[in-house]
Amino acid sequence: MAMVCLTDFEEYAKEHLSKATWDYYAAGADECCTRDDNLLAYKRIRLRPRILRDVSVSDTRTTVQGTEISFPVGIAPTAFHCLAWHEGEMATARATEALNTCYITSTYSTCSVEEIVAAAPNGYRWFQLYVYRDRKLSEQIVHRVEALGYKALVLTVDVPYTGKRRNDIRNQFKLPPHLKVKNFDGVFQETAGPEEYGIPANTLDPSISWKDVYWLQSITRLPIIIKGILTKEDAELAVEHGVQGIIVSNHGGRQLDGGPASIDALSEIVDTVQGRIEVYLDGGIRTGSDVLKALALGAKCVFIGRPAVWGLAYKGEEGVREVLQILNDEFRLSMALSGCRNVAEINRNLIQFSKL
């Protein structure tokens, strides 16, 4: 079967992954309202296409943190890629390197940061970080990725505690014995205590606060991007604390159920930031026109999570490349059909909200 759109990859992954693995990737918190609204919100936004604009030549390139990428779609940090494909994050890294875009490596990867760099030495990468009760754990991994040439830290701030994902509880989800959270291999003593997604429970620090941004700035020279902001108040605080970017994100609907869809939170954050730092978005991107809508509302770049994993499940590196290429092609077409020749021409005049 020809893979024509991202939902084709979703259907393939659902059919071919084990139930527990599929449920883990698909999970939302509680009743999954926010997870589902991440998708539905795009359908409430309409485009206002301009015509007769000579779109014979189009250019999808943009920059993030001063680095040029081929189009404004990167890979969001998602855990446990080896559950979907034996080469896991190494395959993902090679795919993003081939398409010259940004890959945010998850702390919870099933390949180590060193293996990922070795697999795609010329790739453009950021590293997603959690803050642990044992600050030394966070500090050590920051120094590792900085030495390896990662270009930014993505501090995830919406997980003081892990959201309640009902199917993971029902399935008693655990990593299979042959897989580990590779970045912490050998760090934790073997204990019979409860685990949460591959590491001992209660490792994350729920006391994390804005002062930890200053702490992080004191131990690294890498740009810091905060992932998980959904309000203008927190966007303003992020700017005041000197970070270099915000990823508007509700963690794929996996944390607080009942919060806004990412795309619905974007405008107020862009309006608050006023260009002082870059604003990105993840959550619910499934088509090129979704990308266009997010950019029209002020996102500099968007990141995809689940679709990358579906691509892996389909055909490893080649599958991820296909997912990215389909989005790139759809984005280019949506741009042209809306009268935009390059990313700079995309603005809020392209958008109207449907009156449902």
Strand partners for 303: 74, 282
User: What is d(CA 225, CA 280) in angstroms, rounded to the nearest whole number?
Assistant: 9
* Residue 306 annotated as part of some ligand binding site: yes
Pairwise CA distance, residues 254 & 257, whole Å: 7
354 is in an annotated binding site: no
Q: What are phi and psi of 224, to 5 degrees?
A: -115, 125
Residue 116 counted as an annotated binding residue: no
Does the annotation flag 284 for ligand binding? Answer: yes
Q: Is 211 annotated as a binding residue?
A: no
314 is in an annotated binding site: no
Answer for the pair 104, 330: CB distance below 8 angstroms, yes or no: no
Write out the two tokens for 304: 């995809």
Nearest Cα neighbor of 129 from 219, 233, 26 is 219
Q: Does residue 245 have a known ligand-binding role?
A: no
Query: How is residue 355 annotated by DSSP?
Result: -
Tokens representing residue 117 in the block: 């760099």
Tell me whether residue 298 is annotated as binding: no
- 259 annotated binding-site participant: no
Rounded Cα distance, 113 and 316, in Å:
18
Q: What residue type is 171 in one-letter code?
A: N
Consult the annotation and say whether 207 binds a ligand: no
Does the annotation flag 156 for ligand binding? yes
Residue 106, marked binder: yes
What's the rounded Cα separation, in Å, for the pair 350 and 50? 8
Closest C-alpha to 232, from 248, 243, 216: 248
* Distance, CA of 136 to CA of 139 (rounded, Å): 5
Is 231 labeled as ligand-binding? no
249 labelled binding-site residue: yes
Token pair for 356 = 């449902």
Q: Is 283 annotated for ligand binding?
A: yes
Q: Specify whether the CB–CB gap between 161 and 204 falls below 8 A.
A: yes
Q: From the candidates 16, 81, 143, 251, give the one annotated as an active-site residue.
A: 251
| Contacts within 8 Å (CB) and 24+ apart, 94-98 | 94/119, 94/120, 94/123, 94/317, 95/311, 95/317, 95/318, 95/320, 95/321, 95/324, 96/120, 96/123, 96/124, 96/320, 96/324, 97/122, 97/123, 97/124, 98/317, 98/321
Report the distance separating Cα 200 and Cα 194, nearest Å. 6
192 annotated to a ligand binding site:
no
Whether residue 86 lies in the annotated active site: no
Question: Is 78 annotated as contributing to ligand binding?
Answer: yes
User: Is 286 labelled a binding residue?
Assistant: yes
Amino acid code (one letter) for 81: H
List the catalytic residues.
Answer: 251
**Residues placed in the known binding site for glyoxylate:** 24, 165, 251, 254
Binding residues: 24, 77-79, 106, 128, 130, 156, 165, 227, 249, 251, 254, 282-286, 305-306
Which residues line the annotated binding site for FMN?
77-79, 106, 128, 130, 156, 227, 249, 282-286, 305-306
